[in-house]
Amino acid sequence: MKNKYYPHLFEKGKIGNVVIKNRIVRNSMGTYLGNPDGTVTDRQIKAYAQAADGGAGLIFMDNAVPVPMTSCGLRADKDEFIAGLTLLAETVKEHGAIPGLQLAHPGRDAAFVGSADVIGASPITFEPWYEMGFKMPRALTIEEIHDLVEKFGDAALRAKKAGFEVLEIHGAAGCIPTNFLSPHDNKRTDMYGGSLHNRMRLLIEIVRNMKQKCGADFPIGVKLSTEDWEPEGIRIEETIEVAKALEKEGVSHLNMMGGTHATASRQFLLPNAFNAEHTRMIKEAVHIPVFIGHNIFSPEEAEKMLAEGNGDFVALGRSQLADPAWAKKAKEGKARDIKPCINCMIGCIDKGMLGHTPIHCTVNPTLYRFECKPIVEAEVKKNVAIVGAGPAGCEAALTASLRGHKVTIFEKRSFGGAMIEASKPDNKANIKRLINYYEDHITHDPNITLVKKEANYDMLVQGGYDAVIIAIGGKTRILDVPGSDKSSVVYANDYLNGSRVVDGKNVVIIGGGITGAETALELDNDGKNVTIVEMADTFLANSGSSCQAYNIAIAQSNIKIMTGKRLVAVEDNGVVLIDRWGNENTVDADNVVIAAGFTPQYDLANQLEENTEMEVYNIGDSKKVRQIYDAIHEGFIAARQI
């Protein structure tokens, strides 16, 4: 019987000769839960069980390297690793899904993870990485290429022996096959360089070797980048030809993505399902299953992708980190209960892949925290007040309710807190889904009472509360300079939330952080002449994915940037700036937008701690101005402690 909620999503499918119970794939996205030597840990086994329990039909998790390499992923380069791999494959099967394994060699990207031996088609790498001092890859010799092909085949056979039923070659994201496929990275003059026919030779030989050793009917697919978003790199026209050639070699499926590890931050700026058009072009060129992925977050989006013929399966990674039960909830018609990925890339990319730590998730504080006790009802039920319905307060309220506490949440404005302004840019619109999730669950929770007032000290003291969580967010930093009270001066948050307009043509933004960058891009899209002024010497100094993405976007815009300058006065038609040496200059401005950041707010929490016996927690930006990740995680932790 067809699923009445998402009929395409929960239709059976086949990968080669393997029947998949639905069209949902848990895409390979390393957990970094393994041992540094590549052996399997108990936490990995639990993570694989959780993923399979979540309801996806085909489960890929950590990829496995076919050569000796230090990592926290998996290794398949020796027979001694078969035992651990077997535990993972059996775990997935026992929990109702098909186990898949992706084989990957990072190629030039090994420099990024600190490998001693960095290899590629040619001694060429991503230019910003070279400028940052990462090791340049050395070009593989013909003999080394042949040896690497054999190692891929041997690793595939080990994976088959371990019980994995579908294999996948990582031929995307900057891994070794892309180093050969890319006309930018491959400058070889032998049989592995030059024409596309030659540049795809390594990938074709890997496929042939794996199929020779595993059997012609054993499902072996390939992950490909539709385009790699790098200068003179992989483009869709050539990817279509590669896809056709792979189909002739008998591959079971094609798993499509966009970009590379070097350019992954760009997806932060891209719309949901941005890869649909290119994936559809691949699907129309071949007759084997095609996976569509990247920036698909809701069951409605996934169903639409399949119904429109953009792909045969939907491959989800980050969505199933935010809520490992994504598929199960969708199947049961409980999509409103799915905690949404907001595409922030903080926990999974910045703290995971870039931070070299186990993968995290901004909206899911429990992800892979198997060492922590499950949330259980408190032995003593308490009366808890939460001040502020931003991300910290909302997460705290829902967690405290799960503990059985009676919760009163005070919010004078509306649900979301700083997320209201943060969700204004088109690329951050997914945050609205998180606001809606919190509002829906809090307003329907019988343990939670919402009071639409600003809480003060007396209200909290007289309310009979046992514990108070202060989650009032940061306070806008006010710049007090001559002319700052002019009507032409607007604070960034007031512009982003729609309470103030910027109607002048020439706009100067004071502050070169994320808020300043987002505001600048919004105004640039509106046709304004925008100049960003940053007091520090570096604009967007943070190395996170969002900062990298904004740097790219602003470099491609008409926005001007001035660093090392401070605002000293606002005049009728401009601003006066000064540098550290005392040199002044004036910049034309019809409007001045202040994006100077926020400051924490301790007063209410300190007053309650000093004068009452209540448990008091100050969390999120009211404690220290940071990211949405910190707010949600601190809200969860505080509520668990009550």
pLDDT of the residue at 114: 57
| CA atoms of 45 and 597, how far apart (whole Å) | 43
Beta bridge partners of 138: 119
**Contact criterion met (CB below 8 Å) for 233 and 183:** yes
| Structure letter (DSSP) for residue 370 | T
| CA atoms of 342 and 297, how far apart (whole Å) | 8
Residues recorded for the chain: 642
pLDDT of the residue at 355: 61
- Residue 422: closest CA among 267, 636, 629, 560: 629
- Residue 540: closest CA among 571, 581, 503, 511: 511
**For 232, left (φ over 0), alpha (ψ -120 to 50), or beta?**
left
| CA atoms of 472 and 412, how far apart (whole Å) | 10
| Structure letter (DSSP) for residue 474 | P
Q: Dihedral of CA 495/497/501/505: which sign?
A: positive
Q: pLDDT digits over 316-370, tens only?
A: 999 999 999 999 999 999 999 999 999 999 999 888 666 678 999 999 999 999 9
Residue 543 has pLDDT above 70, yes or no: no
pLDDT of the residue at 113: 64
What's this model's pTM, rounded to 2 decimal places? 0.95
- Return the C-alpha torsion angle 65, 69, 72, 73, nearest 10: 0
Amino acid 446 reads P
| CA atoms of 386 and 629, how far apart (whole Å) | 19
Residue 411 has pLDDT above 70, yes or no: yes
pLDDT of the residue at 365: 97
Helix (H, G, I), strand (E, B) or coil at 147: helix
Helix (H), strand (E) at residue 574: strand 574-579
Burial of 538 (0-12, 13-18, 19+ CB in 10 A): exposed
Residue 103 has pLDDT above 90, yes or no: yes
Lookup: tokens for 509: 């933004």
3-state secondary structure 492-516: HHHHHCCCCCCCCCEEEEECCCHHH
* Mean pLDDT (whole number) for 60-70: 92
Residue 4 has pLDDT above 90, yes or no: yes
For residue 18, which phi and psi values (nearest 5 degrees)? -100, 125
Radius of gyration of the chain (CA): 26
Q: Which residues of 580-620 form beta strands (DSSP E)?
A: 584-588, 591-594, 598-599, 615-618
Q: pLDDT digits over 128-142, tens only?
A: 888 878 889 999 999
Lookup: tokens for 341: 């990925």
Q: Which domains does the chain have, with CATH numbers?
A: 13-106+144-333 (3.20.20.70), 383-474+600-641 (3.40.50.720), 489-597 (3.50.50.60)
Count the Cβ atoms, other than its own, within 10 Å of residue 633.
24
